[in-house]
Amino acid sequence: MSKKILIVDDEESIRNVLEKLLIYEKYTTLAVSDGKGAIEAVNSEMVDIVLLDIKMPGMDGIEVLKRIKEIDPTLPVVIVSGHGTIETAVEATKLGAFDFIEKPIDMDRVLLTVRNGIKQGKLTRQNISLQKRFGGKTRIVGEHETIKEIMDIIERVAPTAARVLVTGENGTGKELVARRIHELSDRSSESFIEVNCAAIPEDLIESELFGHEKGAFTGATSRRIGKFELADEGTLFLDEVGDMSLSAQAKVLRVLQESTFERVGGAGRIVVNVRVITASNKDLIEEVEKGNFREDLFFRLNVVPIEVPPLRKRRTDIPLLSDFFLKQTSEELGIVTKRLSGSALGIMKGYRWPGNVRELKNIIERLCILTKGDEIKDTNLPFLSGDRKKGWQSDPFSIENFQNFRELTEKEYLLRKVQNNNGNISQTARQLGMQRSNLYKKLEKYGIDYRGEGETE
């Protein structure tokens, strides 16, 4: 898609001259005659640079510049004026103007400024995007064999234009895979646009993906730019693509086949160059058999499949992930990095993690906030043991270290015996055939509160 230039000038002759010059140079143009039209255009259109006159009736160029920078601080604005003064140029520069051109217009200067301004805007957006992503480095943490295989596939597929379908349970990190592919591709300087298909109502998904024209349907009070258009030259990530309606699937298929689409309610064809990466927690082959997903679209999307395993199938990565999230959360909260005790880590390695890596991250954040002291102990993890159906008890043989297994089972056994005796240690000790002093030591070791109905200081 060619770059779009917004021309704002109250003189029709100036607008016409600039439009002819820029169209000849293969740019797309949009011309308006006043500040109000300029603000509306920036709000509704994808504009790459603005050529803005200073002296206009109503809202002058300086005020328009302020408003544009409030809407999009990264959008380059070139001030064009027949009444140029040093004071005006200084004021415009302070407000964020990219350059200042005086009338009568030097066409070569205009073309050079436009090229440089578009390049600068792209670099600015890229820098902001990279800063938001920890310096542009999406971390996929893990040394399990399946994770190493996934990272190898990512490195091989990223430089190509191949479509990728990422599958796996919720919370396994499918979005990280998509982002990493984008970062290693030749599109990394362009946009990475994400759409959660499951979170958008069926009647709005087409508008979200392809945009709509003003008046296309009730409530469409202005033109909307869709995600395909926003992702032009970059990457579009369609998460939970299996939840997309059949109608939207048909339109997505057409875009993949032709690289063109129409906005809802529009007539003109829009050409885009977008790499599409999709993800689903559903078995799409099964969805195809049920008639819920188009077979032809599935084959278009499933060029390179990547299956992300659940956390319970890569338990050896739990210490690495825990350490990573402990450091990350501590930095975000501005606190000393906490550490996990051996027994706490044993509980975490034995737990089944139904929410996968996302659940682990959330629990680490909770522990960093609520745990007193620098060490997180097993006593801080009651929500991962007890009677939880999905806790470690349902899969005891998953605990790799025998010492951890023995401590976990012993703690659980003693806890239940003490509870059954309402905290009466003497009675519990007799029942277990154990000296009371020895039982006290074990209860203190495991942090079990033993002061019940039958015990006092």
Read off the CATH number of the domain in which 366 is found: 1.10.8.60
13 and 114 part of one domain: yes
Do 158 and 258 have their domain in common?
yes
For residue 455, pLDDT over 70 is answered with no
382 shares a domain with 237? no
Distance CA 414, CA 448 (A): 9
Q: Which residue has the higher pLDDT, 33 or 423?
A: 33
- If one counts the domains in the chain, the total is 4
Given a cut of 70, is residue 192 above it in pLDDT? yes
What value does the mean pLDDT take over residues 378-395? 57
pLDDT at 391: 41
Is the residue at 181 inside a domain? yes
- Does the structure show a pLDDT above 60 at 395? no
Domain boundary among 282, 309, 336: 309
Q: What is the pLDDT of residue 404?
A: 66
Label residue 112 by pLDDT band (50, 70, 90): very high
Q: How many other CB atoms are there within 10 angstroms of residue 261's CB atom?
A: 22
pLDDT at residue 387 greater than cutoff 60: no
CATH code assigned at 26: 3.40.50.2300
41 and 177, same domain (yes or no): no
* Predicted local confidence at residue 385, as pLDDT: 55
Q: Which two tokens stand for residue 176?
A: 């990280």
Quote the pLDDT of residue 115: 92
Q: What is the pLDDT of residue 83?
A: 67
Mean pLDDT on 293-318: 95
Q: Are residues 207 and 278 in the same domain?
A: yes
- Where is the domain boundary, 400, 418, 447? 400
Q: Is residue 274 part of a domain?
A: yes
At 266 the pLDDT is 86
Instruction: Decide if 290 contacts 246 (C-beta within 8 A).
Output: no
Of 120, 119, 86, 111, nearest to 100 by C-alpha is 86
DSSP strand pairing (270-271 vs 260-261): antiparallel
Residue 272 confidence (pLDDT): 92
Residues of the chain with pLDDT > 90: what percent? 51
For 268-355, where are the alpha helices, taking DSSP H only? 284-290, 295-301, 318-333, 342-350
Q: Does residue 389 register a pLDDT over 50?
A: no
Least confident of 28-37, 69-78, 212-221, 265-274: 212-221
- Write the CATH number for 289: 3.40.50.300
Q: What would the pLDDT profile of 281-304 be if each residue is shown by its tens digit?
A: 999 999 999 999 999 999 999 999
- One domain, residues 162 and 304: yes
Whether the predicted pLDDT of 392 surpasses 70: no
Contact 82, 102 (CB under 8 A): yes
Domain identity same for 245 and 341: no
> Is residue 137 in a domain?
no
Judged against a pLDDT cut of 50, whether residue 425 lies above it is answered with: yes
**What's the confidence (pLDDT) of residue 58?**
86
17 and 105 co-located in one domain: yes
Q: The pTM is what?
A: 0.64
- Between CA 116 and CA 110 the distance in angstroms is 10
Question: What are φ and ψ of residue 66, in 5° steps?
Answer: -60, -45
Establish if 333 belongs to a structural domain: yes
Residue 388 above 50 pLDDT? Answer: no
Q: Name the more confident of 122 and 166.
A: 166
* Pairwise CA distance, residues 347 & 337, whole Å: 20
* Shared domain check, 163 and 50: no
Is residue 75 included in any domain, yes or no? yes
Please tell me the predicted confidence (pLDDT) of residue 447.
67
pLDDT at 235: 95
- Residues 3 and 274: their CA atoms lie apart, in Å, by 15
Is residue 140, in this structure, part of any structural domain at all?
no
β partners of residue 212: 224, 264
Model pLDDT, residue 134: 43
What's the pLDDT score for residue 94? 81
Is there a single domain that holds both residue 29 and residue 105?
yes
Indicate whether 125 pLDDT > 90.
no
199: three-class secondary structure by DSSP = helix
* For residue 149, pLDDT beyond 90: yes
Could you list the residue range(s) of the whole structural domain that residue 420 is in?
402-457
Nearest partner of 346 among 326, 322, 313, judged by Cα = 322
pLDDT at 287: 96
Last residue of a domain, one of 309, 332, 361: 309
Across 158-167, 312-321, 387-396, least confident range = 387-396
The verdict on residue 194 lying in a domain is: yes
Whole-number pLDDT of residue 440: 84
Q: Over pLDDT 70: what percentage of the chain?
A: 89
57 is a domain residue: yes
For tokens 């875009």, what's the residue? 255
Same domain as 109, residue 43: yes
- The mean predicted confidence, pLDDT, of the chain is 86
Residues in the chain: 457
CATH number at residue 455: 1.10.10
Does the pLDDT at position 172 exceed 60? yes
Residue 335 Cα distances to 25, 52, 265, 305, 373, angstroms? 55, 48, 53, 40, 11
* Residue 77 dihedral angles phi and psi, to the nearest 5°: -125, 125
**Among 259, 236, 135, which Cα is nearest to 181's?**
236
Most confident of the following: 88-102, 161-175, 363-377: 161-175
Residue matched to tokens 């209860």: 443
Strand arrangement, sheet containing 28-32: 28-32, 4-8, 49-53, 77-81, 99-102
Please state the rounded mean pLDDT for residues 206-226: 85
Both 410 and 383 in one domain: the answer is no
